[in-house]
Structure 1
Amino acid sequence: MATAPDAQPALGEPRLGGRWVLRALARPPYGLRRERTYSVRAAEGGPELFLRLHRVPDHPLRDCYPFGAHDLAVGLTLPGADETRAGGGPGPAARLLRDLVPALFALDPGCRRVIAAPDEDDTATQLALESGGFRRIAEADLPGGSVVLFAAEPPGIARLSTALDDMPH
């Protein structure tokens, strides 16, 4: 099937190594794969998490910030309301995100930002995102309701100063 020259490539499968078991759940039979859905479980066992990957240009988040053509959106469904482990350590979703984000940047070297947008009332997912290395950046209204935007960037971009005095002029 031919694609337009500016069309984004299909999403590949992130390589998470042996620490995670990733199982594809939904795949469009034809055309470009603009969304991928997975069931993910730690290799040593534990709760099943559900992960959705989208390209931001094909997602309602495109209206919320000045996205890059290769930016990715992550949707995460947690198994229960409590994401932290007893003793306060990061739960499985935060550990997954710490492995997933570098895998996504490796999957598409043109990606400059991975975005997540949990509902504003979903504090468990917000905590998992923060514990998983995402920064809270803004709140936004989408057709389905209000969300909190979180972003993760590759280290080379995250270290760049955004102070006006540091900008070339």
Structure 2
Amino acid sequence: MITQLSRLRFEDPWSGEVVSWADSGGRLVVRREDIAAVTVELTRCARGRLRHAYPVAAHDVEVRVSDVATADDLTAVLEVLTPAIRIADPQCRKVVYAVDRDDSGRSPLSALATSAAAEAAGFRYVVDVDIADAELSLLVAEPDWVTAVDIDLDHVPGT
């Protein structure tokens, strides 16, 4: 079952204005005084364009950012979105940022610069996927509870 994605809340100096919102995500404009307004689209991966691209979980959220002017601005926006998503949905295992590998001028940033900006915001590259209209590199930000590893191999968790 795919759960509803709650609206995000931002702390000063950030603000977010909802353009549209539905159970599986929404579109908002995110602002900070020193950064031009950026349009952000959030979608539950299980209902969005990535639903068949990888083994999605019900709480995974894809972040799409448009109107971003620089790599530093993209990093700043992703750094504020990731914790806001985790607060809105504490069960979110993956915040996914997909980088279009085609540098055909749809974005002012190259695929390499976009990936580097996402990595600077705490995302890590996971896999390349093909969807109907794009070739994407998926980067994810996961909370510590997802990536924690118990190195005590002689102990069965929960016992």
Matched, 1:23 2:26: no
Distance across 1 between alignment mates of 2:2 and 2:154: 34
Matched, 1:150 2:139: yes
Structure 2 CA distance for partners of 1:111 and 1:166, relative to 1, 3 Å:
farther
Structure 2 CA distance for partners of 1:62 and 1:45, relative to 1, 3 Å:
same
Distance across 2 between alignment mates of 1:148 and 1:46: 26
Deviations 1:73-130 (A, max 9, x none): 11111433x41xxxxxxx1221221222112111111111111112013333222211
Specify every segment of 5 or more residues in structure 1 that has no aligned partner in the other structure, as ranges: 1-5, 84-90
Matched, 1:129 2:93: no
What corresponds to 1:92 in structure 2?
Answer: 73
TM-score (norm 1): 0.77
Distance across 2 between alignment mates of 1:79 and 1:125: 10
Q: Conserved in 2, the CA contact under 8 Å of 1:78 and 1:93? A: no
TM-score (norm 2): 0.81
What corresponds to 1:69 in structure 2?
Answer: 58
The letter for the 2-side match of 1:113 is K
What corresponds to 1:12 in structure 2?
Answer: 6
Identity among equivalent pairs (%): 28
Deviation at 1:167, TM superposition (A): 9.6
Runs of 4+ deviating beyond 3 Å: 165-168
More strand by share: 2
What corresponds to 2:37 in structure 1?
Answer: 48
Local SS of the residue matching 2:36: coil
Q: Conserved in 1, the CA contact under 8 Å of 2:93 and 2:143? A: yes
Match of 2:28 among 38, 45, 48: 38
Deviation at 1:160, TM superposition (A): 2.6
What corresponds to 1:114 in structure 2?
Answer: 95
Distance across 1 between alignment mates of 2:132 and 2:144: 32
Matched, 1:103 2:84: yes
Specify every segment of 5 or more residues in structure 2 that has no aligned partner in the other structure, as ranges: 104-110
Local SS of the residue matching 2:81: helix
What is the CA RMSD across the aligned residues, in angstroms?
2.3
The letter for the 1-side match of 2:7 is E
Count matched residues. Answer: 148
The letter for the 1-side match of 2:3 is Q
The letter for the 1-side match of 2:12 is G
Distance across 1 between alignment mates of 2:154 and 2:29: 43
